Structure 1
Amino acid sequence: MERLAGAAVASCMILLLLLVPCAQFQGQPPEAPEEAWAEGQPPEALEDALTMLLSEGGCGAFAALVARTAGVGDTFREQIGSDLGLTILCPDDEAVGAFVPRFHSLTVDEQAGLLLYHGLRMAYSEELHGRVYWLWEVLTLDGEQTLIINHYRGRAILSPWPPSSQNEARITKTVVDDDHLAVYLIDAVLIPTESKKPDFFWDFLGPFLLVIAGLLAL
């Protein structure tokens, strides 16, 4: 019962983020069209809905950073309302706590970029990414940065692309799996690859080698 109740609450929060009234909170759907209802909602309500959703999923520290960093929450909510939706890779509280000193040493732009790096430009359902048995490249919200999803022994492992360090994270829990929003708890903070000049090997041969590696893994 608790799991069903939690899922119902999460669904209502997603509806709020999509600017659709939730009967549980409103009593009855309003007579006015959706646009009029949306105009009457304070920005704080949408911000609180996203923060609560992430916090209840086990990543309250990450949610707090998102709420305090200008533009990040707005970008997440805008992507949730898009046709493709949003995936949030949410580092757990232990991982964020260990990373906070380094986070505060970053510039404002670097802080925003790092947080947006944990958002993917599509709502990847658990079923969808679970079908992938080799390396899979996905776009993040941080410009044109990409991540690699690699399934190994039944676990999804995330790492930057092109590889710049041993930084990687594992998906430990599915928090939300919805058409417009997917949230996964991960065990480490992901660090974007630093910008650099084009590299022939990684930029041109790298994707080809990924395909070969995937075929060999079958």
Structure 2
Amino acid sequence: MRQLQLLILPFLYCLFLFQTSNAHNITSLLAKHPSFSTFNHYLSLTHVAPEINRRTTITILALDNAAMSSLLSENPSVYTLKNILSLHVLLDYFDSKKLHQITNGTVLTATMFQATGSAPGSSGFINITELKGGKVGFGAEDNAGVLNAYFVKALEEIPYNISVIQITKALQSAAADAPTPGPSELNLTDKMSAHGCKVFADTLLSNPEAMGTYQDNIEGGLTVFCPLDEPMKAFLPKYKNLTAAGNTAFLEFFGIPVYQSMSMLRSNNGLMNTLATDGANNFDLTVQNDGNDVTLKTKVNTVKITGTLLDEEPVAIYTIDKVLMPSELFKAAPTPPPAPAPVEAADKGKANAAPTPEADSPDGDPADQTADNNNAAGRIEAEIFAAAGAGLSLLLGLL
């Protein structure tokens, strides 16, 4: 029985890891609490919910319907609201017990808003402080240290995966509350240039046709994969060797005419058309998951998504570590010939070796060698059956 337990334990451990890797769904958790239905609705509308679900070790500072009504009375755009709600998602686990046992009475923690790269300086951090009388205050770091919201109660706790706690009202942050431009007002190249993709942005600006294609797709949905400056700068000589039509197709190849959040890219693996796709000119790419990484692949090379510059429907912009090359413009590296099979190599060696005379059997009869071989094969077969029988007996004994 002990041996059987040792066989089962690794299986149970793997099952536990699988279950805990996707252990929460914020929409389902909040559905148990009707007084938080508005907060739940806007988490989904702004696509903050899928980002919460793909993370572990996280805390949601939930707002009830009254607090959400006060927040919505200021008429924030859906893009601004996404920043505000992202500020209410802490990238650490705080349940009610931990909130009342904060070391030195105060802690500064990062939020999802800070992780998006949209928060300047320290504006994406939240100060949590334990106060007199058991109160716990919360305040955005860019709000002059003012703790404007307080802990009310715990709604859901799954240690140490996700905690959902209620606070009195929305956190105040100049950066998160700032009006965020809608898609028609978005300057794609400014966004790229400010976050490590200036070479690609400048190259795109120098090609009015490709730039116009990007602009035309913003309203309907657009995802951009932007090569970082160093790899793009090194690639420019190859780009300049393309024809004018090749330049345009190459630049358009880095855009997809639909909005794809990171969670969508993780779940929608496979071939995707690009802005350069034109009938038989496929110019497509393949999205694949590689562990926690998302990779893009053509017949020529493979690149990895390294960061998110913007993720506000209908536009997403991601950085990639190398320049992805379409097979329509660049040739794939030749496939090396397969190495000779071991048997073939051995046969070739035998063919080159001098023939060796056959050794005589002890009594000079080749039939005796055959008999000896048969006897050896029989012994081996008997040993195999004996081992199999012993193994079966052991297994039956364990059961």
TM over 0.5: yes
For structure 1, which runs of at least 5 residues remain unmatched after alignment?
Answer: 20-45, 196-218
CA contact (8 A) 2:118 2:310 kept: no
Q: State the secondary structure of the residue aligned to 1:18.
A: helix
**CA drift at 1:172:** 0.3
Provide the C-alpha distance between the structure 2 equivalents of 1:124 and 1:80, rounded to a whole number of angstroms: 13
- CA gap of 1:75–1:9, structure 2 versus 1, over 3 A, is farther
Q: State the secondary structure of the residue aligned to 2:271.
A: strand
Match of 1:172 among 278, 296, 306: 306
**CA drift at 1:11:** 7.3
CA contact (8 A) 2:259 2:315 kept: yes
The aligned amino acid for 1:155 is: D
> What TM-score comes out, normalization by structure 1 length?
0.65
Which residue of 2 is the match for residue 157 of structure 1?
A: 295
Matched, 1:73 2:211: yes
How does 1:91-106 map onto structure 2 within 5 Å?
91-106=227-242
Match of 1:116 among 252, 260, 263: 252
CA contact (8 A) 1:10 1:53 kept: no
Q: State the secondary structure of the residue aligned to 1:185.
A: strand
**CA drift at 1:119:** 0.3
Provide the C-alpha distance between the structure 2 equivalents of 1:66 and 1:140, rounded to a whole number of angstroms: 15
The aligned amino acid for 1:191 is: M
Deviates more, 1:68-77 or 1:87-96: 68-77
Q: State the secondary structure of the residue aligned to 2:208.
A: coil
Which residue of 1 is the match for residue 184 of structure 2?
A: 18
The aligned amino acid for 1:172 is: T
Provide the C-alpha distance between the structure 2 equivalents of 1:53 and 1:190, rounded to a whole number of angstroms: 20
Provide the C-alpha distance between the structure 2 equivalents of 1:110 and 1:150, rounded to a whole number of angstroms: 26
Provide the C-alpha distance between the structure 1 equivalents of 2:290 and 2:315, rounded to a whole number of angstroms: 24
Which residue of 1 is the match for residue 316 of structure 2?
A: 182
> What TM-score comes out, normalization by structure 2 length?
0.37
**CA drift at 1:57:** 2.3
Provide the C-alpha distance between the structure 1 equivalents of 2:240 and 2:197, rounded to a whole number of angstroms: 18
Matched, 1:139 2:273: yes
Q: State the secondary structure of the residue aligned to 1:113.
A: helix
Q: Greater RCO between the two (CA within 8 Å, min separation 6)?
A: 1
Provide the C-alpha distance between the structure 2 equivalents of 1:140 and 1:151, rounded to a whole number of angstroms: 19
- What value does the CA root-mean-square deviation take over the aligned residues? 2.4
Which residue of 1 is the match for residue 194 of structure 2?
A: 56
Provide the C-alpha distance between the structure 2 equivalents of 1:104 and 1:114, rounded to a whole number of angstroms: 11
Provide the C-alpha distance between the structure 2 equivalents of 1:121 and 1:153, rounded to a whole number of angstroms: 26
Provide the C-alpha distance between the structure 2 equivalents of 1:150 and 1:77, rounded to a whole number of angstroms: 27
Q: State the secondary structure of the residue aligned to 2:324.
A: coil
**CA drift at 1:131:** 2.6
Regions of 4+ moved over 6 Å? none
- CA gap of 1:109–1:124, structure 2 versus 1, over 3 A, is same
For structure 2, which runs of at least 5 residues remain unmatched after alignment?
Answer: 1-112, 121-174, 330-399
The aligned amino acid for 2:270 is: W
Provide the C-alpha distance between the structure 1 equivalents of 2:267 and 2:178, rounded to a whole number of angstroms: 25
Q: State the secondary structure of the residue aligned to 1:151.
A: strand
CA contact (8 A) 2:283 2:328 kept: no
**CA drift at 1:190:** 1.4
Provide the C-alpha distance between the structure 2 equivalents of 1:116 and 1:86, rounded to a whole number of angstroms: 11
The aligned amino acid for 1:98 is: A
Quick one: percent identity of the two aligned structures? 29
Provide the C-alpha distance between the structure 2 equivalents of 1:67 and 1:123, rounded to a whole number of angstroms: 22
The aligned amino acid for 1:72 is: A
**CA drift at 1:63:** 0.3
Matched, 1:86 2:256: no
Bigger Rg, which one: 2
Provide the C-alpha distance between the structure 2 equivalents of 1:72 and 1:11, rounded to a whole number of angstroms: 29
Q: State the secondary structure of the residue aligned to 2:180.
A: helix
**CA drift at 1:4:** 5.2
The aligned amino acid for 1:142 is: A
Which digits, 9 at most, give the CA deviation of each residue in 1:97-150, with x for residues without a partner? 110111111111101100100001111011211234xx4111100024211011
Q: How many pairs align?
A: 157
